[in-house]
Amino acid sequence: MHGEYKVPGGKLVVVDLDVEDGELRHTRVAGDFFLEPDEALDAINGALDGAPVDTDAAGLAARIEAALPEGTVMYGLTAEGVGIAVRRALAHATDWTDYDWQLVHEGPQPPALHMALDEVLTQEVAAGRRPPTLRVWEWGAPSVIIGSFQSLANEVDQEGAARHGIDVVRRVSGGGAMFVEPGNTITYSLSVPDALVQGLSFQDSYAYLDDWVLGALADMGIKAWYQPLNDIATEAGKIAGAAQKRLVGPGGGAGAVLHHVTMSYDIDADKMLEVLRIGKEKLSDKGTKSAKKRVDPLRRQTGLPRETVIDRMIDSFRARYGLARGKVTDEELARAQELVRTKFGTAEWTARVP
């Protein structure tokens, strides 16, 4: 069995192993990490041999840490990262480079249609009719997008939204409300087979699916990191929030994961505060007293036009994993438009949690 895992912000860990009588055997750890002393690698392999196959990543990490020689130094590698690579091997997880990725980047579309396209394209990936897809959004109107489980009344000042001509829509994923304006926001979705995140915890899957964009930001001179559970942050402040939804495949078979991210290129903070109800409780766990300080837009940090930032993100993804240009098919668009009519564009859905 073979498993790979790139430690977020670190290096690639590769594990090959056998299973005999319900235990790990002949475990071989490799990768482009740094490890001192050399004997530590033998200690890691030895700690994994004999572990029951149902040992979780944390349990495997504990075995490794207990076996490491005193003074061991790991750079780009963690004991937990090795444990995750083992779990991915046992789950027969796939890797980014196992797929022919498709890019969808089309003209501005209404907010409700974006919600529907996320659902439709991810369903198509789950059914095997569409390759894994990176979709970059262009916004046709300003909007507030609330999480699947948020209260409409608690999150949105509807009088403020109406005053500024801002649509309110509800997405299928959880998480918090996002304030977006055309030209000020960069949003993308990843629709991927669930095999890509096999062996990862829910939290680890966020870090794993966000790792490429951290690299893209680094290429633009921005040191960013994943901040659990679903933020991308820099020393200047939060720049993005992510959300996920897991969809089952046809007949309950292998499914797909929708992972979408909204990044602030620029922001009208005063308008945002007139539209979103950002409570003290939400601010307290972010370590800040002002909502304006929670978001630090990419425009200020990069000095680049929005279109250039998007192009560089796409180029970075393509260089890592390959990316062919595609489009939303006529059938997919028709299904999405029907979902707008019956679900995402309805008051019943938007206010399903009043």
Mean pLDDT of the residues in the chain = 94
pLDDT for the residue numbered 4: 96
| Range in 154-158, 286-290, 316-320 the model is least confident about | 286-290
DSSP, res 5: E
206-229 average pLDDT score: 94
pLDDT band at 292 (very low <50, low <70, confident <90, very high): low
pLDDT for the residue numbered 288: 43
Query: Going by C-beta distance under 8 Å and a sequence separation of 6 or more, which residues neighbour residue 92?
Result: 1, 195, 198
Hey, is 227 helix, strand or coil? Answer: strand
> What percent of the chain has pLDDT above 70?
95
135-177 pLDDT, tens digit per residue, is: 999 999 999 999 999 999 999 999 999 999 999 999 999 999 9
245-266 average pLDDT score: 92
Q: State the burial class of residue 354 (Cβ atoms within 10 Å of its Cβ: 0-12, 13-18, 19+).
A: exposed
Longest dimension (CA), the chain: 67
Beta bridge partners of 105: 136
Q: Does the pLDDT of residue 290 top 80, yes or no?
A: no
pLDDT for the residue numbered 252: 81
180-204 pLDDT, tens digit per residue, is: 999 999 999 999 999 999 999 999 9
pLDDT for the residue numbered 251: 81
| Range in 68-82, 92-106, 224-238, 329-343 the model is least confident about | 224-238
63-112 pLDDT, tens digit per residue, is: 999 999 999 999 999 999 999 999 999 999 999 999 999 999 999 999 99
Q: What is the 3-state secondary structure (H, E, C) of 31-69?
A: ECCEEECCHHHHHHHHHHCCCECCCCHHHHHHHHHHHCC
pLDDT for the residue numbered 98: 95
CA-nearest of 188, 141, 189, 190 to 306 is 188
Contact 111, 139 (CB under 8 A): yes
What pairing do the DSSP bridges indicate for beta strands 237-247 and 231-234?
antiparallel
CA pair distance 128, 193, nearest whole angstrom: 9
Q: State the burial class of residue 88 (Cβ atoms within 10 Å of its Cβ: 0-12, 13-18, 19+).
A: buried
pLDDT for the residue numbered 8: 83
